[in-house]
């Protein structure tokens, strides 16, 4: 093998000097002769004509370049090939994710279309029922082609609301909707500027048993003199704030209490209501003879009670359950007057519209269903744009009836405009905040959120954060007192009260 006498590398175009016999790379020796005119080795005079080309066999493989013969160079070559392979794999993964997202959107649209078709079928059936009712009133006999539909109408009537209950719903709706549209906040009601000055006022500690510890639910009486709590210890406690004493400890549940409520009506005894994980709802009232609270009624579901609300008529109790149904019960007889058909998912929360015509339930699949109480038909389906599934564990209608407050992700709450219906606004609470309770105040100008990092109060429409109370830690339930001048929350075994400074 030849080596160039100048570069020391195998020449690509070798030539030999006829005078000295040295081998050179042609381009290098020609350049040297042009500049110096001598042989670079011997120093003798040399011309380009003195160079003789060396011809090798055409079958002989050219030697590999130096950068391809060392171990570092080979490793670099392999690294480059690996990088190219990884980039191509990454590109394929991106294409795969894009296709999966497109498929997810298509499946969602298919599901939405199916729901729309189901809703239209229910509306069609309701229209047929109305037509059959009108026909019967006018004395027109149904046609032969409509015989099958008559059976469907009769079946629907069998599971519908009784006429007396429907009359109560209509009367309540007319009375409340007319008053609501003209209603203003009462004189002396708290203002947003006053809320900004709220501070911790009072803490009632060590309620319920320490094993298992924890209050799970809270309800305040209309005059804020009494409050009701339910706990993990399976007990419902009635507390008198003025005397700072527990008036009653009610033990009638086999598992933790999920919800408590008051039913207060002028001229009628106050009812204490509770619903628990033992699939049972209870109603207590004060017995004048014994001076104790006794069970007046027991209501059972096939699944855990996840929502309990006194209807605006004050004569009906609405319950939601993990058995995928909601139900309405007469608070005088405690008999069931309506139970919905099984829904696709367990129901995880419940709220009733202030006019009494609509009922909203949450699900573990991020969806909120709004039902027409009269017919049981779905009035609206609210699904937040967030793609990560979460459980809608709390709901609250605004007192003016226009908005619905609910979580729209694990760490944010949404205000739904029921007139559209659409998402009006979303309030981000922070990555570590987990929402337990949302509630509108009576004026519909304040909304409160209780969760894993305390309590936050926001102004409706401007969405300004008016107050934040983090000293309570994990707040599982929240309520406004009379005139909105106090906010009550439960944390651990404590009931905490925030309000205007003294």
For residue 372, the tally of other CB atoms under 10 A from its CB is 16
Q: Please tell me the pTM assigned to this model.
A: 0.67
Find out whether 434 and 391 touch, Cβ atoms under 8 Å.
Answer: no
Q: Supply the pLDDT for residue 146.
A: 39
Average pLDDT over residues 460-465: 93
Mean pLDDT across the chain, nearest whole number?
87
Instruction: Tell me what the mean pLDDT of segment 211-219 comes to.
Output: 92
pLDDT for the residue numbered 63: 62
Is the pLDDT confidence value at 194 over 50?
Answer: yes
Given a cut of 80, whether residue 349 has pLDDT beyond it is: yes
pLDDT band at 373 (very low <50, low <70, confident <90, very high): very high
Which residues fall within 8 angstroms of residue 391, CB to CB, at 6 or more apart?
348, 362, 363, 364, 366
| Domains (range + CATH), the chain | 1-58 (3.30.40.10), 163-499 (2.130.10.10)
Note the pLDDT tens digit of each residue in 254-295: 999 999 999 999 888 899 999 999 999 999 999 888 889 999
Residue 451's alpha-carbon distances to 15, 79, 245, in angstroms, are 88, 51, 27
Q: How far is CA 148 from CA 118, 130, 134, 141, 375, in A?
A: 19, 15, 17, 14, 20
Tokens read off for 387: 């793609």
pLDDT of residue 154: 33
**Cis bond upstream, residue 486 (ω within 30):** no
- Mean pLDDT is lowest, of 58-72, 128-142, 161-175, for 128-142
Is it the case that residue 448 has pLDDT exceeding 90?
yes
Helices (H), ranges, 331-405: none
Q: How far is 177 from 461, CA to CA, in rounded Å?
A: 22
**pLDDT, tens digit, 9 for 90 and up, residues 3-33:** 888 888 888 889 999 999 999 999 999 999 9
- Between CA 327 and CA 337, with CA 331 as vertex, the angle to 5 degrees is 40
Quick one: average pLDDT of 479-488?
Answer: 91
Exposure string (b/e) for 242-267, b if CB count within 10 Å is 16 or more?
eeeeeebbbebbeebbbbbbbbeeee
Tokens 């009769």 belong to 154
- Classify 431 as helix, strand or coil: coil
* pLDDT-based confidence at residue 77 (cuts at 50, 70, 90): confident
Query: In this predicted model, which residue has the larger pLDDT, 302 or 1?
Result: 302
- Residue 488 CB contacts under 8 Å (≥ 6 apart), including other chains: 218, 220, 227, 478, 479, 480, 481, 495, 496, 497
Comparing CA positions, the residue from 46, 43, 40 lying closest to residue 19 is 46
């Amino acid at each position: 093998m030849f080596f160039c006498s100048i570069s020391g590398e195998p020449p690509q175009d070798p030539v030999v000097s006829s005078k000295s016999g040295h081998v050179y790379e042609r381009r290098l020796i020609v350049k040297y002769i042009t500049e110096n005119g001598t042989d670079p080795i011997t120093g003798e005079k040399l011309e380009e004509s003195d160079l003789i080309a060396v011809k090798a066999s055409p079958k002989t493989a050219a030697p590999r370049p130096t950068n391809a013969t060392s171990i570092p160079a080979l490793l670099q070559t392999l690294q480059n090939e690996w990088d190219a392979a990884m980039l191509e794999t990454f590109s394929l993964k991106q294409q795969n994710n894009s296709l999966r997202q497109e498929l997810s959107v298509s499946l969602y649209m298919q599901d939405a279309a199916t729901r729309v078709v189901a809703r239209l079928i229910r509306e069609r059936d309701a229209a047929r029922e109305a037509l059959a009712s009108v026909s019967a009133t006018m004395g027109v006999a149904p046609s032969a082609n409509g015989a099958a539909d008559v059976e469907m109408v009769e079946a629907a009537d069998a599971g519908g609301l009784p006429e007396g209950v429907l009359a109560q719903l209509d009367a309540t709706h007319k009375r409340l909707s007319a008053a609501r549209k003209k209603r203003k906040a009462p004189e002396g009601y708290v203002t947003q500027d006053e809320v900004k000055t709220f501070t911790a006022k009072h803490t009632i500690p060590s309620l319920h048993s320490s094993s298992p510890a924890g209050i799970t639910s809270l309800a305040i009486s209309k005059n804020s003199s009494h409050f009701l709590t339910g706990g993990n210890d399976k007990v419902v406690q009635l507390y008198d704030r003025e005397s700072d004493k527990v008036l009653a400890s009610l033990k009638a549940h086999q598992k933790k209490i999920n919800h408590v409520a008051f039913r207060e009506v002028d001229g009628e005894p106050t009812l204490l209501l509770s619903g628990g994980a033992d699939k049972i709802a209870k109603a207590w009232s004060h017995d004048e003879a014994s001076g104790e609270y006794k069970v007046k009624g027991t209501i059972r579901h096939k699944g855990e009670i996840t929502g309990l609300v006194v209807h605006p008529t004050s004569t009906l109790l609405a319950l939601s359950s993990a058995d995928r149904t909601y139900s309405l019960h007469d608070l005088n007889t405690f008999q069931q007057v309506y139970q919905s058909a099984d829904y696709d998912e367990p129901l995880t929360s419940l709220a009733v519209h202030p006019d009494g015509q609509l009922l909203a339930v949450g699900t573990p699949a991020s969806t909120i269903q709004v039902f027409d109480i009269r017919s049981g038909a779905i009035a609206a389906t609210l699904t937040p744009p967030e793609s990560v599934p979460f459980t809608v564990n709390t709901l609250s209608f605004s007192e003016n009836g226009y908005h619905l407050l609910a979580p729209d992700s694990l760490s944010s709450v949404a205000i739904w405009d029921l007139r559209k219906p659409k998402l009006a606004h979303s309030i981000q609470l922070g990555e570590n905040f987990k929402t337990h309770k949302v509630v509108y105040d009576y004026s519909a100008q304040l909304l409160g959120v209780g969760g894993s990092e305390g309590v936050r109060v926001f102004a409706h429409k401007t969405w300004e954060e008016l107050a934040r109370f983090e000293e309570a830690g994990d707040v599982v339930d929240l309520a406004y007192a009379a005139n909105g001048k106090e906010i009550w929350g439960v944390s651990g075994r404590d009931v905490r009260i925030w309000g205007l400074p003294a």
